[in-house]
Amino acid sequence: MEKKEKDFYERLEQKGVTRRDFMKYCTFMTATLGLNASFVSKVADVFAAPKERPPVIWLNFAECTGCAEGFLRSTYPWIDEIVLELINLEYQETIMAAAGHQAEESLKAAVKKHKGKFICITEGAIGTKYDGAYGKIGGRTFLDVANSVIPHAAATIALGSCASFGGIQAAKPNPGGFKGVGEALNVKTINIPGCPPNPVNLVGTIVNYLLLGKLPQLDAAGRPLFAYGRTIHDQCTRRGHFEAGEFVMEFGSKDAEKGWCLYTLGCRGPMTYNNCPTAKFNDGTSWPVQAGHPCIGCSEPNFWDAMSPFYEAM
């Protein structure tokens, strides 16, 4: 075993994570990614000791930072491992120590140094009206910042529904002319929508890249098929009740307690592609339908308009 790898397992053990737990996670990740079992050990290698941490530049535009917060909730691997040992997070405004000019310099230097090699993760939508003058960083418009970084990236991940499709600020009447990053810049992005998305799907995409040297297969909306290949409805634990015609008619009712289907209260699971029922959120704790609330379709393009009013059945 390489020294780095040995250190890695020692560290894991110190934290009370056995090698077995870790392999279990790698199996879960391998399955999430839709790879066959022979990849489990390679996935483990990726987490244990990437040869060189791949550079990542994270840009925040018009957003609520919920996507970055979601990323901070990653548990396997933990966020400190991702930042210290898995990737080389060159620029991330929410956590970085530097500010002002020093922060701007970091961004410029990182783009120059890793030209053509870094992954750009974008969070938030870009205003396109009035030459993109709706939001600024260091006096430059979002559009300007995006244009100075994204064309030099090896790949750009649009994290969250805002970056993917425009998100909430693009809802009618879209006062700022907001668009998803791909559309605003006319570039191809890997979209990981959700409001916010499950960090598992971002980590999965990065692992896929480290492992196979390429990005995962995408659907027509630019979403990785491993996560967005099936509807919520198809994977939902309440599906049996749907088939049996057992519907909840009021929140908090006996039928709600029994876990009947939420279709009648507005559930958008049948038209929403995502893996929430299987991946679940926050280390597998739950997901909205499990908490008794209908799916609002947050990973679909334009869901704020297309899926609302949320409490009316489709």
Partner 1 sequence: MGKRIVIDPITRIEGHLRIEVEVADGKVVNAWSSGQLFRGIEMILQGRDPRDAHHFVQRSCGVCTYVHALSSVRAVEDAVGVKIPENARLIRNLMHGAQYQHDHIVHFYHLHALDWVDIVSALKADPAATSKLTDNVSNSPWGGSNYYRNVQARLSTFVESGQLGPFQNAYWGHSAYKLPPEANLMAAAHYLEALRLQAKAARMHAVFGGKNPHPQSLVVGGVTSVADLSPERLAEFMYIWKETQEFIKNVYVPDLLAVASFYKDWGGIGGTTNFLSWGDFPQTDKEPDSHFLPRGFIKKRDLAKPLDADQQKVTEHVARGWYEKGDPKHPFEGETKPAHGEYQPDDGKYTWFKAPRYDGASCEVGPLARVLVAYSKGHKEVKATVDSVAKQLDIPVTALFSTLGRTAARGIETLVIGQQMEGWMNELIANVSKGDKKVYQRWEMPDEAMGYGLNDVPRGALGHWIKIKDKKIENYQYVVPSTWNLGPRCAEGTLGPVEEALIGTPVADPKQPLEVLRTVHSFDPCIACGIHVIDPHTNEVYKIRAT
Residues in region 177-236 near partner 1 by CB under 8 A? 195-196
Asked if residue 99 binds partner 1 (CB under 8 A), the reply is yes
Residues in region 10-29 near partner 1 by CB under 8 A? 11, 14
Q: Which is nearer to ligand SF4, 10 or 234 (CB)?
A: 234
Which position among 45, 63, 183, 300 is part of the footprint of ligand SF4 (CB under 6 A)?
63
Asked if residue 292 binds ligand SF4 (CB under 6 A), the reply is no
- Rounding to the nearest 10 degrees, give the CA dihedral for residues 6, 12, 16, 18: -70
Binding site partner of 139, from ligand SF4, partner 1, none, Cβ cut-off 5-8 A by kind: partner 1
CB of 203 to ligand SF4, least distance (A): 16
Phi, psi at 158, each rounded to 5°: -95, 105
Q: Which is nearer to ligand SF4, 111 or 181 (CB)?
A: 181
CB of 153 to ligand SF4, least distance (A): 20
Binding site partner of 267, from ligand SF4, partner 1, none, Cβ cut-off 5-8 A by kind: ligand SF4
Tokens of 15: 């934290």
Query: Residues 240-268, buried b or exposed e (16+ Cβ, 10 A)?
Result: ebbeeeebbeeeeeebbeebbbbbebbbb
Number of C-beta neighbours around residue 97 at 10 A: 7
**CA triple 171-298-225, angle to 5 deg:** 125
Number of C-beta neighbours around residue 23 at 10 A: 14
* Cα 30 → chain centroid: 17
Residues in region 160-179 near partner 1 by CB under 8 A? 167-169, 171-176
Contact criterion met (CB below 8 Å) for 179 and 301? no
Which position among 75, 148, 217, 237 is part of the footprint of partner 1 (CB under 8 A)?
75
Residues 143-182, mask of contacts with ligand SF4 (x by CB under 6 A):
-----------------xxx----xx--------------
Which position among 70, 193, 224, 277 is part of the footprint of partner 1 (CB under 8 A)?
70
Q: Crossing angle, helix 19-32 and helix 199-212, to 10 degrees?
A: 90
CB of 269 to ligand SF4, least distance (A): 2
Gap between the Cα atoms of 196 and 69, Å rounded? 9
Max CA distance (Å), the chain: 62
Asked if residue 238 binds ligand SF4 (CB under 6 A), the reply is yes
**Site stretch for ligand SF4 (CB under 6 A), options 23-31, 32-40, 50-58, 60-68:** 60-68
Tokens of 304: 């704020």
Coil, strand or helix at 141: strand
Which position among 34, 50, 53, 66 is part of the footprint of ligand SF4 (CB under 6 A)?
66
Residues in region 246-275 near ligand SF4 by CB under 6 A? 261-263, 267, 269-270
Q: Which of 94, 101, 103 is closest to 121 using CA atoms? A: 94
Asked if residue 289 binds partner 1 (CB under 8 A), the reply is yes
